[in-house]
Amino acid sequence: MSQTTKTHIIHDRNARGHAQIGWLDSYHTFSFSSFYDPNRMGFRSLRVINEDRIAPGAGFPTHGHRDMEILTYVLSGAVEHKDSLGTGSVIRPGDAQIMSAGTGIQHSEFNPSPTEPLHLLQIWILPDEQGLTPRYEQKAFPPEEKRGKLRLIAAKDGRDGAVVIHQDIDLYASILEPSDVVNYHVKPHRYAWLQITQGIVTLNGEELRAGDGVQITGEEQLEISTNIGGEILLFDLA
């Protein structure tokens, strides 16, 4: 169920789509694959937020994408990535990885560990222009840069060391410990999406848990805190 408070709507973690195919346990915030909800077709340029758990040694074989900005955010474990640009990399917790599919790209994603499960978010964002040249970028953001504060990890202009994304989005990450409070002002004529990735946090006094998402429409002052610890992603959207 969703509930409305002021200018935001809470998308409950238990209302997400769910698919399990043995090696993959996946929850879908927005309509994806066989999960369809006309009220969950994305938000602004956000189109997919999938929370995936991938078994050791398993993963997605080579497949293609077009005209999509695809961002991988690892919560635990690691992803081995290979693509048709010749990129070969390992993505670990704290990294921001962006793949601009543009005119077309092929890639594979595997859990290289023989013993450790992989837990990640895969995020798809509609680009502001179609037919772009495919590209790949990855940067590491140490935990100390995110503890108790919002760290910009992706932006259209790549400022402050963020990875570049072809859309008018500022994406922030934060790791919150007990007594931490972060504040953010959503400006008029802007929108935001808050994704709880781990733990329990409160947004303006309302408790949210890992998997919950909050759709924010219009100007609002956000106060985000925790009593036990948590991790968040905050999207500031056109």
The whole-number pLDDT of residue 39 equals 87
* pTM assigned to the model: 0.95
C-beta separation of 155 from 162 below 8 A:
yes
Q: Determine the pLDDT at residue 6.
A: 57
The number of residues in the chain equals 238
User: Which domain does 219 fall in, by range?
Assistant: 2-237
Return the closest-CA partner of residue 96 out of 28, 5, 173. Answer: 173
Residue 46: per-residue pLDDT: 98
Please choose, from the candidates 227, 226, 231, 184, the residue with its C-alpha nearest in 3D space to the C-alpha of residue 211: 231
Number of domains making up the chain: 1
46/116 Cα distance (integer angstroms): 30
Please enumerate in sequence order all residues whose Cβ is within 8 A of that of 127, keeping only pairs 6 or more positions apart, or say none: 67, 68, 69, 100, 102, 166, 167
Quote the CA–CA distance of 232 and 214 in Å, as a whole number.
Answer: 11
- What digits encode the pLDDT tens for the residues 177-198? 998 999 999 999 999 999 999 9
| Low-confidence residues in the chain, pLDDT < 50 | 1-5
Here the CATH number for the domain that contains residue 111 is 2.60.120.10
